[in-house]
Amino acid sequence: MSSKFQEPTNVQDEAGPGFFRIPALVAVGLIAIVGLIALYVFVISQSETPIVFDPDDVVYNQPLHGSYILDSRRTTVAYPDLDDPLPLLDLPSTFHDMGRVRAESLITHIFVIENRGVGPLTVVQLYTTCDYVTADLSGSIIPPGKVALLTITLDTARAYQLGQRMVRRGAVLTTNDPHQQETTVWVQALIAP
């Protein structure tokens, strides 16, 4: 009885030249699908959802004007007892890109602040992060279910004089919401001559 020794064969030869390409293509396809799902979850689903409100729901009581403050003193806030009806600040958008703007204008953006809680939301302090941005709040005491309008104004001429071209500046609100005691909104602009 003779035994034959058989040489090992190349698997690619038996399976054909495209055998290893199919699993690679499947893997690339799965990676692409996972990437698209991640894009949806982390970018598209996180997009701003505007607050829909009736103009009659806007409060105009005790308006606040905010400007730049140089010192570090902050207002003391009396927070409601956790057994009391609590306010809940809802600000779905905290950033707005104003795009490319001319250096000779005042540009504004309005943020909508809603109280989704069951107690009144009180904004006790409002200030900005630089001297060429101001902030105006339509009402500082926001009852449950009502909204206040926060208008941010950027003086592009002043910013340009200071050598600023791409600016990102903000306004800071201090509130009686125990879960969001301080909230900042930001505007950004590219200033062109």
How high is the pLDDT of residue 148? Answer: 96
pLDDT at 41: 43
Mean pLDDT by 10 residues, the chain (193 residues): 55 52 66 59 48 85 82 63 87 94 92 96 94 95 96 94 91 94 95 90
Write down the pLDDT at residue 43. 43
- Identify whether the C-beta of residue 187 lies closer than 8 Å to the C-beta of residue 154: yes
**What single string gives the DSSP state of each residue in 139-162?**
-SEE-TT-EEEEEEEEEHHHHHHT
Residue 54's pLDDT is 84
| pLDDT score, position 70 | 67
Entry pTM: 0.70
Q: Integer distance in angstroms from the first to the last C-alpha of the chain?
A: 96
* Closest of 162, 157, 151 to residue 192, by C-alpha: 157
Structure tokens belonging to residue 15: 């399976």
Tokens coding 25? 């293509």
Residue 63: predicted pLDDT: 85
